[in-house]
Amino acid sequence: MAEPTLQVVDTTHFLLLIGGGLVVVLSIFGILAVIISMLNYEVNPVKDRLAQLKEDGSFELGLQVKAGPFDDLKDILGKMAEPVSKSLYGQNKKYVKQVKSLLTEAGLNDSEEQIFRFMTHRASVGIAVGCIGAVAGLVFGSGSFLWLLSGFLGGFMFGSLIPQFMLRSNAAKRKAEIRFKLPDTLDLMVVCVEAGLGLDSTIQRVAEETEKMSPEVSYEFKRLNKELNAGISRIEAFQSMGLRSGVDEMRSLCAMIVQADKMGTSVATTLRIYADDLRTKRRQRAEELASKASIKMTFPLVLFIFPPLFIILMGPVVINAIIQFYPAK
């Protein structure tokens, strides 16, 4: 009686099948994008001009203009994924609040529409990666439905985490930039206040001067200036900026300015002392990173530098020893 043999999947054929599946999926998406763009194409000089102004940075509000062949396809995928996103993410109020906080810290619009748009984008990416995972599971599982379902669920979970990770990364980069540029901004505020400008005029001048040096800090001060001009009280405007930035140093700065405004103390002295404190903290963070560098260099030294160096130094010695003890016959 012949023993049952275990079938081994050929790696070459498996990779070819996965590559072919990916090519087919991407080709379908590309063909759909081209067809939809050709059907919806129309010459609109107003939209072209708005798109040009948006690219130049002179159109601050940034109206949404369809500028690429895949925008219509993104809209269709967004409409398809909208029910999925609302059922998966929209019911969790805690998560909605978390997304709103991340959007605010990343410098994006935190309206309810933008929140659900992000959730829809997350579901869309999850579905797209899930389809690729389903194709891979179908190929690897030889047509098994269980493998197909597992590949789709795994791809969906992985794909839905990509937008969340990117949003967190953008928020962290923006907070690090604000934290790094804040001491220099405070020095500029001290100069403006000591030159005789009022606090509101100082905020406006700092927002203009720091636009190229630090766009993130400039954006926060511009928004603060707009809120003050709109009639919002100074206390509420500064508290809103502190919460919106997500940076502890910015929150402390806003609290100190509000306290100095209430007590009638010198704002210039307060800003100068706090700027020195922030500069000291920045230097301490740089020293901390420098002290960690030697420890982080240990792993590449051991893995990538020591083995080649050992081979170069000891290789000739080992070869001469082999020749001496085991001469050729």
- The pLDDT tens digits of the residues spanning 111-150 come to 777 887 888 778 778 888 888 888 888 777 766 778 888 8
Cα distance between residue 85 and residue 122, in whole Å: 8
3-state secondary structure of 318: helix
| Sequence-separated (6 or more) residues with CB below 8 Å from residue 171 | 102, 105, 106, 246
Mean pLDDT of the chain: 76
Q: What token pair was written down for 140?
A: 């690897």
pLDDT at residue 61 in the model: 41
Q: What token pair was written down for 113?
A: 């529409």
pLDDT at residue 67 in the model: 45
Please state whether 64 falls in left (phi above 0), alpha (psi between -120 and 50) or beta: beta
pLDDT at residue 101 in the model: 82
Backbone angles phi, psi at 61, to 5 degrees: -70, -30
pLDDT tens digits for 273-309? 888 888 888 888 888 888 888 888 888 888 888 888 8
pLDDT at residue 306 in the model: 83
Cα distance between residue 119 and residue 291, in whole Å: 40
pLDDT tens digits for 187-227? 888 888 888 888 888 888 988 888 888 888 888 888 888 88
Query: What is the enclosing helix (H) or strand (E) of 255?
Result: helix 248-263
**Domain edges within the chain:** 176-286
Residue 159 near residue 244 (C-beta atoms within 8 A): no
Residue 106 near residue 165 (C-beta atoms within 8 A): no
Does position 162 have pLDDT exceeding 80, yes or no? yes
pLDDT tens digits for 24-83? 666 666 666 556 555 554 555 555 566 666 555 444 443 344 444 455 555 655 665 566
pLDDT at residue 82 in the model: 63
Confidence of residue 1 (pLDDT cuts 50, 70, 90): very low
Does position 230 have pLDDT exceeding 80, yes or no? yes
Query: What is the enclosing helix (H) or strand (E) of 65?
Result: none
3-state secondary structure of 21: helix
Pick the more confident residue, 3 or 13. Answer: 13
Confidence of residue 327 (pLDDT cuts 50, 70, 90): confident
Q: What token pair was written down for 83?
A: 């029910």
Q: What token pair was written down for 277?
A: 């404190």
pLDDT at residue 65 in the model: 40
Q: Cα dist. 193→182, 227, 263, 279 in Å?
A: 16, 20, 17, 19
Q: What token pair was written down for 241?
A: 């900026």
The amino acid that residue 42 corresponds to is E
Percent of the chain with pLDDT over 90: 0
Percent of the chain with pLDDT over 70: 71
Q: What token pair was written down for 133?
A: 């995972």
pLDDT at residue 5 in the model: 47
Cα distance between residue 300 and residue 278, in whole Å: 34
